[in-house]
Each structure stands twice: as structure tokens, then as C-alpha cells.
Amino acid sequence: MSLLALTAVTVPAGGWAAHLGLGARDHLEATRNALLRLRTVAASGDLELTAGPLREARWHAAEAGRLTGGPDWSLIAHAPVVGGIATTVRGLAESAVELTDVLADVRQAGAAVLTAGTRTGDTGRLLTALDGAAPVLNDSVTRLGRAGARLAATPAGTGVDELDRARSTALREIDRLRDGLGDAATAAALLPPLLGGHGPRRYFLAFQTNAEARGTGGMVGAFGILTADAGEIRAGRFSARTGTIASPVPVVDHGARFREHYGPYATRLLSVSNLSPHFPYAAAAWTGLWERRHHLRLDGAIATDPVGLSYLLELIGPVTLPGGEAVTAANVVDLTERQAYARYPDPAARKRFLIGIAAAVSRRLPAAFTDPVRLLPVMTRMVRERRIQVWSRRDDEQRLLAATPVGGVLPQRPGPFAGLVVNNSAGGKLDYYLKRSVGYELGRCLGGIGLRLSEVRIRLTNDVPRGELPSYVTNRLDSTRDRHAPGANLSWVSLYAAVGTKVRAVWLDGERVPVTRNEERSHPVYSTLVEFAPRQTRTLEFELAEPVSAETPVVPVQPLVHPQRTRITEDRRGCAS
């Protein structure tokens, strides 16, 4: 806050008020500086280093609160002209006090978690510490919500630009911290039961091969059973015999619209069980199929893919296969999704190789849970990119999972939405080379009718290399009698649009094409088959009329091998401000 701003507040009220105002300014600036140092040292993961900056921030915040909390400041806050300025300054001081108190409580809870985590092999102790941290984190989220609401109620346009910017920054930072602590609170509530802290658990563990795209990422290429008991994690019963996981009858009922969209086998065969991007659909089918064959009850399902394994290998380090080959973060994606097909023409040998990699990584994984500081950023990245997805059979846990990215849920809420989903329809492994981009242009609003004209432009490139590829990679199971150029691919491309959207026209490379329309979890879904020649780029353009909404546009990203490029633009013409 500038000297000019404080002068505007305090001079009309006399010298004592000037002393209060200048003192409050100095303490608020010192609080801000201490919090900036706190953020810097917190990034190191060393809680000891945070003690000094946090102690300093709390002291200065308390002094600012004391100076602005008495009757003298209240008198200024009710004065004409300067009252709004004084009210906002007091709001900043109050929020600084609450914020620093929250950080102190979170630090104490975090210290217990980190101390437990450093005890190698004692994951049970870590889960107990997380159980204790959960209520502290939940309370912190509530307190920050109240602090943000109180600050938001103060005048936003005081006439002092620096003060108004400080208020906006504080609100942003409170929201950011509240969101982060909310995620931490959810994790602290979920991890102890999910990892067997409240009793043994057993999960279907799916390794998705996104070289053959499916709605949740890739076809299940291998699977196993992960057990967790008091934090002790084991994975076993690995198999790549995915054809054996089948049922003559549906193992779960997702409703008539699901059957209409995905056909009768999506709840009977593992190979087509995850065509939908809604992970709970796939997880319920996987557990049902496995239970029908093995007559053992599962508690949920977990999915990852080779990209996710590469992130885990960054954490746990390289693993060595029985033959001496090293599998590293740098080579695991290429090894499992490209090289394996050239190296092992025999599918059985290739599957044994892939199972060996999955087993080797799984054996090393438990040690990662004893180092929360290193584990957290890796898991955060995996969750953000949907490289790990989790479903629980227990309703209370599933409700928490569904509210986070790790749940892999297709949200039902209204608002701007453009989700590209690619399902491989050729039966090969060419999606390893698929590159994609999505441009979402929210167009002008049509006055008075609550709609806007928008466009989604999808570019897909079949970027196969020149030269010979293994036949297993290029085989076309969709039309075995027809001749296709080696490296040609066929994809079922779907756009999941905003709730209430109507399609006006769809164009493929400039020519109008028909699409099928389905509905899934309230979203209209527009789909068409797209044939790709080797190294060909195809462009799909969807012209839409979608409901006007003030919500932030959402463009989810299907977890495939290559990242999706996304661009969102908005034309506010004709839209209410």
C-alpha cells in the first residue's frame, strides 16, 4: 500500500490515526514479504526452513490486525470519503491474520505427516498421520473460505489503485491456497482407507496401452491385482491374457443410452470396456469381469499407462529385468509401445516382456510412499494428466474421488465444454503416432435467446514414420479383405459438447459430413469415423449453438501418448457483461 493511500485514509482523522495507518501499511507489507519468502522455502520440502518466515508473517499480520481492529480505526472506517479505504485495509489485515494462522496449523499437521513418511517401510504410520491431518485441512479450507468471503465484501473500488490491486491479489491467493488445501484434504481423507489403513483392500490394476486408443486412454494390455493392508502395498497375479476376461452376459448395467452408444459387448469384453471417457464405467466393468471369473470381491480399480510409469520411474529410479535390461523413465514409453512390437513378433513373448516390466515397477513402488515430499509432485502430475485413475466401490469414497481429476469422471454440470475422444477402430497400434489439437472458439451471443455460436476445430495427424513397421502394429482388423496402405489408420472420433448444445454442421477437410448423435451424462456426443492415410492430417470442424454461460470453458484431455495442444478463445459480442 502506498504512502499516498495511507495519507488519504489518515490525515483527515488526525495524527494518531496517521500513526495507525502508517503502522498498518508497514506491517502488511512485511507480512507480504515474509509470505513470499515462505513460498520460496516451502518449495524445497524442508519444513524446518519455513519456521522463520511463517513466524515473522504471523507477527506482522497480528500487529496489522491489532492496529486496524480497535475503536480508532473503526471511527475512520465510518468517516465520509475515506471510510471505504479504511474498511478494505482492515479487511486485508483480518485476512492476513486468518491466512497466517491457517498456515501455522497446516505446517504442524504437515510436520507429523512428513515425520511419519521418513520412517522407511512404516507406511502405516504415515496413514495414521494423514488421518490426523484430514480434519485440520478441512477446517483450514472452511476458515479460508470465510476469510475470502469477508475480504470480498469490502469495497473493491476504493479509488486507490494500489490498494485495489492488493485486495485482488489477496483474494486470488486465498482462493489458490484454499483450492490446494482442498485437494490435500481430499487426499488425506482418501489415502488411508484406499491404502488399507482401515482394513485390507484389493483392486483391479489395469495397464492401458494408449498405442490403441480408448476413451479412458488405451486398451487394457495387461492387468493385475493390487492389495493394500495397513499401507503395505503389493501387486501380483499379472496377466496379459486380456481375452480371458470376458463374460457371456453383461456384468454391469450402465443404462439404455450407454448400450445404444457403445453396443452390447462394452460390459462383457475387456477389450471394448473403456470406450467411454467416464472412468467409473470402465472400472465397474473391469471389476465385474474379473470377479465373475475368479469369484473374489474387489474393492475398486486403478488404471495407469506407460507415460504414468515413466513418471513413477523418475521417482523410484530404473528397474532391471531378469535378463539385465534396464527400464528407465526415458525409455519405458518407447520400449512398451513401439520397440516391443518389433522385438517380439510372437504375441506371447511380447506379453511376457510387458508383464515383466509391470512386475518390476510394482515391486519397487511401495518404497515411494515413504517419501511424501518426492511422491507428491509425481502423483500431482499423474493426476493432472489422467495417468492414474481410481474408482472405489464404496459410495462415500467414490463421491470424493468423483470430485477430483483422479476419479476420471465425465462431469454432468452445464457450462462451455469441448471434449475430444478418439477410439481406435482399426485394431492396430498406430495411435502411438497420433498427434492432435483442439481449438475451441466460443463465438458471439445471440441476443435474447440464451445461445451463442461456437466452433470446435480438431486436427488429427497420423504421424507414422516412413519405412516398414511390424504387421501387428499396422494390421487392419476392421476390414481384413480390403487393401490398405501400411500405416493407414481408422479412428472413431467423438466430440463431447456442452450440455444443451445443438450441432449446426460438421465438416471434414472442408466437406460436410454426417455424424451420429448420442447422449452421455447429459452431454451431447457427436461422432464420425475418420480414415487416415500414412502421415495424413485430417481436420474436423463442428459448428455449434451452445448455451450462454459464465462458467470457465472446460477442454478435458484424453491421456494418449502425445500431449494435446489446446487453444480457447472467446468472443463476448452480444453477451451480457
Q: What is the pLDDT of residue 4?
A: 38
Q: Note the residue count of the chain.
A: 577
480/503 Cα distance (integer angstroms): 34
| Sign of the C-alpha dihedral computed for residues 193, 288, 306 and 261 taken in this order | negative
pTM: 0.87
Mean pLDDT, the chain, integer: 89
Q: Is 16 exposed, middle or buried (0-12, 13-18, 19+ CB in 10 A)?
A: exposed
pLDDT in tens, 404-447: 999 999 999 999 999 999 999 999 999 999 999 999 999 999 87
Domain ranges for the chain, please list them: 3-194, 201-402, 412-570
279/151 Cα distance (integer angstroms): 39
User: Does 45 have pLDDT greater than 60?
Assistant: yes
Q: What is the pLDDT of residue 112?
A: 83
For 529, the grid coordinates are 469415423
478/250 Cα distance (integer angstroms): 24
CB 438 within 8 A of CB 497: no
Q: Which one is the CATH code of 412-570: 3.30.70, 1.10.3470, 2.40.160, 2.60.40? A: 2.60.40
Nearest CA among 190, 211, 412 for reference residue 302: 190
Percent of the chain with pLDDT over 70: 95
CB 458 within 8 A of CB 446: no
CB 185 within 8 A of CB 178: no
pLDDT in tens, 173-198: 999 999 989 888 888 898 889 989 99
- Label residue 48 by pLDDT band (50, 70, 90): confident
206/220 Cα distance (integer angstroms): 6
For 488, the grid coordinates are 493407414
User: Does 16 have pLDDT greater than 70?
Assistant: no
Coil vs helix vs strand at 473: helix
